Amino acid sequence: MSVRLEARGITVVPEGARHPILTNATVSLHGGEVHALVGPNGAGKSTLFGVLAGDIRPTEGDVDLDEAPLGDRRARDLARVRAVLLQQNAVSFPFTVTQVVEMGRAPWVRTEHAADDDEIVRRALTDTDVAHLAHRTLPSLSGGERARVALARVLAQSTDILLLDEPTAALDLRHQEEVLAIARRRAADGAAVAVVLHDLNAALSTADRVTLLADGRTVATGHPADVLTARRIEDVYDQPVDVFPHPVTGVPVVTARRPSGS
Ligand code: ADP
Ligand code: MG
């Protein structure tokens, strides 16, 4: 499938900082794929997402959207092409769940697509399992419920590029699986879906491609099982692991090695 969004040779030195937080990082998002971005805390994943989204201007490097410079796009155009779930999705005003998800439709106001608003909002609420909370206000929700509402808003934006920063972090097992299934479905429909994950097993079992980031650099990118080898994981995370094939699926499974007998 075609490359939709590509960041090449990205270096970011924040204003006033002495050291780059990204150094020569490169990532390509392809239509029809789920691309997992993994790496330790502070590796630069959210910063790289900010660059891909067009929200952070890199100090060096190029970002292309559909083979043209991302910086040439107007904000309104961009909002119709890519949607971003931020790691901090802090809507703390007392809006209702429905109102928040409706905000996702803002880029389509006064277009023919606005006719679909109600149906799209309804589906986003259902897909993220928050329809039963539709009339509740945001501050009254649990962390996991709030995270699902934030995702619903992003889905309602109806873009075919999705950047999801830790969408599963606050979620229970079933809701994690549902979010991964949504990412897979969107990719099956042709979207380019990038997702920051800490769960390496989720990356191994659901991503088409993985990019591993460490210390602001892209360490490896490619097929999940090729990127996430025991040796590389141990090196990057400084944590001994065991990697073995899942007895049913054969997909590699990663577990942290714990001292036996304790
Ligand atoms: P990740 O999402 O992989 O955990 P981030 O991209 O959020 O990492 O941050 C990468 C590193 O850059 C972190 O050490 C963070 O503290 C630092 N950082 C992020 N933004 C800034 C900034 N504006 N100024 C200085 N340091 C920053
Ligand atoms: Mg982050």
Does the pLDDT at position 31 exceed 60? Answer: yes
pLDDT digits (tens, 9 = 90+) for 123-145: 999 999 999 999 999 999 999 99
CA 166 – ligand 1 centroid, Å: 15
Q: Are strands 252-256 and 241-245 parallel, antiparallel or unpaired?
A: antiparallel
pLDDT for res 103: 96
Between CA 5 and CA 29 the distance in angstroms is: 5
2: number of Cβ within 10 Å:
10
pLDDT for res 88: 81
Q: Is the CB of 71 under 6 A from ligand 1?
A: no
pLDDT for res 216: 98
Question: Residue 59: nearest ligand to its CA?
Answer: 1
Q: Is the CB of 88 under 6 A from ligand 1?
A: no
The C-alpha angle 15, 21, 27, rounded to 5 degrees, equals 120
Does the pLDDT at position 22 exceed 60? Answer: yes
CA 245 – ligand 2 centroid, Å: 29
Per the structure block, which two tokens stand in for 93? Answer: 């005003």
Question: Residue 86: nearest ligand to its CA?
Answer: 2
pLDDT for res 93: 78
> Could you tell me if 245 and 252 are in contact, meaning their C-beta atoms sit under 8 angstroms apart?
yes
pTM of the model: 0.96
pLDDT digits (tens, 9 = 90+) for 192-226: 999 999 999 999 999 999 999 999 999 999 999 99
Test site for ligand 1: of 11, 37, 47, most ligand atoms within 8 A of the Cβ: 47
Q: Is the CB of 45 under 6 A from ligand 1?
A: yes
CA 191 – ligand 2 centroid, Å: 22
